[in-house]
Structure 1
């Protein structure tokens, strides 16, 4: 996730943050929830791009 000069890196399996790079805690929590809510779709897209 990037916004302005802020960059956050998350691992998807299991979902965990690697680096929060300037985001506030409430923003990181919102990003984390969004990832968890969309995890199947994110993983499907990742596999289509990287495995296909």
Structure 2
């Protein structure tokens, strides 16, 4: 996978963020382990970003 980098001018940088989770109609489903196809425990470490 090719990695990309984007450089923004100060005027183009985001100044506000929006947390969409409270506005979802229902909670997101739990993360599923790709090997076991079972829900991941909340204390399981996430893999590093690609």
Considering only CA atoms, is the larger Rg found in Structure 1 or Structure 2? 2
TM-score (normalizing by structure 1) = 0.25
TM-score (normalizing by structure 2) = 0.25
Q: Which has the higher helix share?
A: 1
RCO comparison, higher one (Cα < 8 Å, 6+): 1
Q: Which has the higher strand share?
A: 1
